[in-house]
Amino acid sequence: MTEPILDIRGISKSFGALRASNNINIDLRAGEIHALIGPNGAGKSTLIKQIAGGLRPDTGSVHFDGQDITALSTAARARLGMGRTFQISSLAMEYTVLQNAVLGALGHRGDVFRFFRPVMKDAGLLATARASLEQVGLEEFHDARVSELSHGQRRQLEVAVALTLSPKVFLMDEPMAGLGAEGSHRLMGFLDQLRHKAPILLVEHDMDAVFTLADRISVLVYGGIIATGPVEDIRGNPIVQSAYLGEETAA
């Protein structure tokens, strides 16, 4: 087994009496989709924030590409190669779809402190941005403002912007939410291929998607991981079924 690209070692985080993360170990290896599932309020988003930056764990460490990044800022982690999509779309709402994608390409290239050349005429940035939009199927909307996009289209744009960063790992917080059956299906096909470019840590509520896509699944309940393993193990795990899956598979 190769070294994991992303390795979360024993992180805990409390908000007052609430243990949002309780000694969590989770890793992500090349070529895989590792799904993180758990009921609402289990601490999935808190965990993602500690991995992507923005929230410092009380104890434990986050290792990325062989480096301890626990003390690094969100921006520094992004520059190292973390491509993140947000649970609630977080885009530059007044900009067009293309401007958001170019922003990603620009952020990745890094030469932000330039004041004279028009950024929307930069062939290199435009090529990266257009290619990413095409991959998620948004190229025909490149002129639309984000504020005019549907919820599902914003989710697609989130993924497209993450693609412009050519990240080493993807952290995706519910990318399917609100996409509809067709959109979900399309994105699933896309993520299925994407894992070979960079592994994906996927937080997702859509169980069909998780069981179809994931190589491994971790189940988070009350801030702690109660099981990690291949899809079949998790599906058959009685603890997991009683804690989480029971009602959903019955439904």
Binding interface with another protein (CB under 8 A): 52-54, 73-76, 78-79, 84, 86, 90-96, 98-100, 102-104, 106-108, 110-120, 122, 143, 145, 161-162, 164-165
Q: How far is the CB of 1 from another protein (least distance, A)?
A: 30
Cα separation, 88 vs 175, whole angstroms = 9
For residues 217 and 35, the answer to whether their CB atoms sit within 8 Å is yes
Q: How far is the CB of 97 from another protein (least distance, A)?
A: 10
- Considering the complex, state which of residue 1 and residue 115 has its C-beta at the smaller distance from another protein: 115
Q: How far is the CB of 86 from another protein (least distance, A)?
A: 7
Q: How far is the CB of 148 from another protein (least distance, A)?
A: 11
Start-to-end Cα distance in the chain: 37
- Considering the complex, state which of residue 73 and residue 249 has its C-beta at the smaller distance from another protein: 73
- Considering the complex, state which of residue 2 and residue 113 has its C-beta at the smaller distance from another protein: 113
Residue 97: Cβ within 10 Å count? 27
- Considering the complex, state which of residue 13 and residue 154 has its C-beta at the smaller distance from another protein: 154
Sheet containing 59-64: which strands, arranged edge to edge? 18-28, 6-15, 59-64, 67-68
DSSP secondary structure, 57-89, as one string: -SEEEEEETTEE-TT--HHHHHHHTEEEE-SS-
